[in-house]
Amino acid sequence: MRTTITAWSSPTRLKLIHPFTDGNGRVGRALLNFILERVGYPTLYLGLPQHREYLDAIAPADDGDFGPIVKMLSSTYTGQHKEIARAMRVAKGSRKSDGVGSLMKEFLRMKKGVVEKSSDSRS
């Protein structure tokens, strides 16, 4: 849980520091996905449909209120990955709804296979 709160708040914290003249939002969102990937979670996609909601949610952080951005990012993430889990179950022919936990296991299994194939091709 602590890792996801860190991930959800990372774009906002970078925005507040504002280390670059341009691209702070993109770097912040890349940092968010780096943190998620680093601890073994699938990444989050924030596209044009989420842009206005993202900007509205990140604005209160200027006054120290991280709640809206944490809520927006976590609900977007959960929504995206529930759909992926559902699609994976349909592709496998399973109707059982075992949630995001099974998605995580499948993601890690697939990631391990990709890493192993990458290692084999270098040998």
Measured in Å, how far apart are the chain's first and last C-alpha atoms? 38
| Top-confidence residue, 84 or 48 | 48
Q: Mean of the per-residue pLDDT values for the chain?
A: 78
Catalytic annotation, residues? 18
Is 25 or 95 the better-scoring residue by pLDDT? 25
Amino acid at 99: G
> What is the amino acid identity at position 44?
L
Percent of the chain topping pLDDT 70: 67
Q: Model confidence over 7-52: pLDDT tens digits?
A: 778 888 888 888 889 988 889 889 989 988 888 788 899 889 899 9
Q: What is each CA distance from 100 to 2, 18, 37, 84, in whole angstroms?
A: 18, 34, 15, 9
Sketch out the chain's domains with CATH numbers: 2-122 (1.10.3290.10)
- Whether 58 has a pLDDT exceeding 80, the answer reads yes
Q: Per mean pLDDT, which range of 20-29, 49-58, 106-115 is the poorest?
A: 106-115
Query: Is 0.85 topped by the overall pTM?
Result: no
